Structure 1
Amino acid sequence: MPRIVHFDIPSDNPERAQRFYQDVFGWKFDKWEGPMEYWMIKTGEDNTPGINGGLARRMPGQIGMTNTIDIPSIDEYVIKVQSSGGQILVPKMEIPGVGYFATCMDTEGNIFGIIQMNQKTK
């Protein structure tokens, strides 16, 4: 069964947002070495319940945190989302060294991501 495995926090000022979450929750931030400006967030120890996330500059119109759901086939789930009344807002894209990602909207206007992990992507 697909599960939420990651969250993203949009930010107008990444440094300010990092200070806030560090001060309030003690979260740790590490700059990602990928093709975009992104910070990985460690929210706790790996042996405790919970998930980690990421922080990036806000894209136009982006509001609130986005949860990402791990799925076995991005192509299959894009069809499932659309046939169940949802929308694909950002089509399938490759994230080098991570996998394939798409941004979706459910029937209630909630935005979420789907990701097919595949570390062999270039």
Structure 2
Amino acid sequence: MPTVTWFEIPAADTGRAKEFYQSLFGWNVRPFPVEFKEDFWMVETDDGVGGDLFRREFRGQQMMIYIDVPSIEACLRRVVDLGGRVLTGKTEVPGMGYLAVCEDTEQNRFGLWERVEGSDE
């Protein structure tokens, strides 16, 4: 069954946001192991769902969840069939998997994640 596998938290002040989430939930927030972008942090939770925290990239940018699915292509077809929209089609994350971004019927954005066979991500 598809489940939430990753989340993204944009922040105007990443230091303040790190302190907030560490204090509120006890999450471990540390520098991301790969240099994707400046001011980019990995968030680790106790239940294995991970995420990232980074400097907000555009006004109004909100949190995003990613749902692990066996086939992004099949899920994108279902999104459209059910009245949603595909905002970003299947995009490779080298060595890790693929992602896509969609919008539901209520204009809520969510991501899809398809891991590469043999990847821990």
Alignment TM class, shorter chain as reference: 0.7 to 0.9
Q: How far apart are the structure 1 equivalents of 2:16 and 2:117?
A: 31
Give the secondary structure class of the aligned counterpart of 1:18: helix
Report the CA distance between 1:67 and its aligned residue.
Answer: 1.4
Amino acid in structure 2 at the alignment position of 1:39:
W
1:97·1:120 contact (CA, 8 Å) conserved in 2?
A: no
Shift of 1:14: 1.8
Residue 43 of structure 1: aligned partner = 45
Q: 1:13 to 1:3 in 2, by over 3 A?
A: same
Q: Alpha carbons of 1:90 and 1:58: their partners in 2 closer, same or farther (altered >3 Å)?
A: farther
Give ranges in structure 2 of 5+ residues lacking alignment.
Answer: none
Q: Structure 2-normalised TM-score?
A: 0.81
Deviation of 1:24 after TM superposition, in Å, equals 2.4
Q: Which structure 2 residues correspond to residues 1-122 of structure 1 after superposition, within 5 A?
A: 1-34=1-34, 36-37=36-37, 38-44=40-46, 46=48, 51-118=49-116
* Alpha-carbon distance, 1:86 to partner: 0.8
Report % sequence identity: 38
Q: Aligned to 2:112, what secondary structure does the other structure show?
A: strand
Per-residue deviation at 1:52? 2.6
> Displacement, 1:68?
0.9
Q: Residue 44 of structure 1 aligns to a residue in which SS?
A: coil
CA deviation after TM superposition for structure 1 residue 115, in Å: 0.4
> What is the count of residue pairs matched by the alignment?
117
Q: Cα RMSD (Å) of the superposition?
A: 2.2
